[in-house]
Amino acid sequence: MDEPVVGDAFGELLRAALAEQTGRGPRPTIIAKYPTPVTELVERDDGFLSALPAARYLAPPADWVDLDHRALALVRGRVLDVGTGAGRAALALQERGVPVTGLDVSAGAVEVCRARGVRDAVLSTVADHTGRYDTFLLLGNNLGLLGSRRAAPRFLADLAALAAPGARIVAQGTDPYDTADPLHHAYHERNRSRGRWAGEMVMRIRHRNLATDWFEYLLCTPDELAVVLVGTGWRVEAVEPYPPRYLAVLVRA
Ligand SMILES: C[S@@+](CC[C@H](N)C(=O)[O-])C[C@H]1O[C@@H](n2cnc3c(N)ncnc32)[C@H](O)[C@@H]1O
């Protein structure tokens, strides 16, 4: 059996979602009267597959959840929207006159951002990017970009190198334990048996024949986050719960 081709699956997903929204470009076939919405497929390393509508990445503020609005209210100064996706937060900030850069490692995501009007969208990792920012915004569960206990200090050091004095991270996290799904509990047990925390996930994004590389993605409680931050020069300043999610504000220790 052939494996998927490794490539910019997330970017192609966002391109398809933009085509779906605008009616321009290739988009899914409508089968009889059943629409086939562009769907994000997330494959976990235990074989679990989740499917969610990609349209949420292009959603205007009117369709956001409370947590997203609160996150934008917490930003100040120059903002780096880390893992901007289709740029929904960057666009909203830009419209409010907030200086914002949308950064993403996906070429397709950056192209979609520009097509949607994000003026400053960059294709880069945080390690390769330069600049000075007052707020790092990690929305759409992007606290997960810390990766794992092992990887987090590097990522946080890269943000520290871009931080203006008094800079903060405003991030959305998810408590992995706040679930009734037995398959998630079995995954936690599997991870623990391998010396990992329950929420130290490994996954990839699939789209048509494409897949991203497998990557680590951290789901952790606020208490676990505090442990991850020890020795990184960052500390938790505030946590606001939106179960099973939460908004965390991190500042330089
Ligand atoms: C779950 S989406 C969130 C998009 C957006 N923040 C939102 O709330 O709609 C994650 C995004 O992070 C990007 N990404 C993944 N790893 C990254 C990294 N190491 N640095 C920057 N962006 C990354 C992906 O390409 C994707 O666009």
pLDDT of residue 113: 98
Q: Is the CB of residue 105 below 6 angstroms from any atom belonging to ligand 1?
A: yes
CA 13 – CA 34 distance, rounded (Å): 20
142 alpha carbon – ligand 1 mean position (Å): 7
Is there a contact between 133 and 166 (Cβ–Cβ < 8 Å)? no
Mean pLDDT, rounded, of the chain: 96
189 alpha carbon – ligand 1 mean position (Å): 27
DSSP conformation letters of 92-110: HHHHTT--EEEEES-HHHH
Q: What band does 29 get if pLDDT is binned at 50, 70 and 90?
A: low
Task: Convert the pLDDT of each residue in 85-141 to its tens digit.
Answer: 999 999 999 999 999 999 999 999 999 999 999 999 999 999 999 999 999 999 999
225 alpha carbon – ligand 1 mean position (Å): 19
pLDDT of residue 31: 61
pLDDT of residue 30: 60
DSSP conformation letters of 104-162: ES-HHHHHHHHHTT-SSEEE--TTT----EEEEEE-SSGGGGG-STTTHHHHHHHHHHT
CA 154 – CA 168 distance, rounded (Å): 17
Q: What percent of the chain has pLDDT over 70?
A: 97
Mean pLDDT of all residues in 58-76: 98
pLDDT of residue 253: 87
Q: What is the CA 129 to chain-centroid distance, rounded?
A: 18
Phi/psi of residue 182, nearest 5 degrees: -60, -30
Task: Convert the pLDDT of each residue in 188-228 to its tens digit.
Answer: 999 999 999 999 999 999 999 999 999 999 999 999 999 99
Per DSSP, the three-state class of 72 is helix
Q: Is the CB of residue 85 below 6 angstroms from any atom belonging to ligand 1?
A: yes
CA 195 – CA 201 distance, rounded (Å): 12
Is it true that the peptide bond before 244 is cis, omega within 30 degrees of 0? yes
The end-to-end CA distance of the chain, in Å, is: 50
Q: What is the domain extent for residue 147?
A: 5-252
Q: What band does 64 get if pLDDT is binned at 50, 70 and 90?
A: very high
* CATH code where residue 56 lies: 3.40.50.150
Per DSSP, the three-state class of 85 is coil
Overall pTM > 0.95: yes
Q: What band does 159 get if pLDDT is binned at 50, 70 and 90?
A: very high
Phi/psi of residue 62, nearest 5 degrees: -60, -25
32 alpha carbon – ligand 1 mean position (Å): 34
Pocket test for ligand 1, best of 103, 106, 124, 214 (most atoms within 8 A of CB): 106
Going by CA atoms, what residue is nearest to atom 1 of ligand 1? Answer: 140
CA 41 – CA 194 distance, rounded (Å): 25
* 14: its two tokens: 């966002």
Task: Convert the pLDDT of each residue in 89-104 to its tens digit.
Answer: 999 999 999 999 999 9
Q: What band does 7 get if pLDDT is binned at 50, 70 and 90?
A: very high
Q: Is the CB of residue 104 below 6 angstroms from any atom belonging to ligand 1?
A: yes
Mean pLDDT of all residues in 35-56: 95
Q: Provide the pairing of β-strand 5-6 with 210-211.
A: parallel
Q: Is the CB of residue 141 below 6 angstroms from any atom belonging to ligand 1?
A: yes
212 alpha carbon – ligand 1 mean position (Å): 12
Geometric angle at alpha carbon 140, from 155 and 144, rounded to 5°: 35
Domain count, the chain: 1
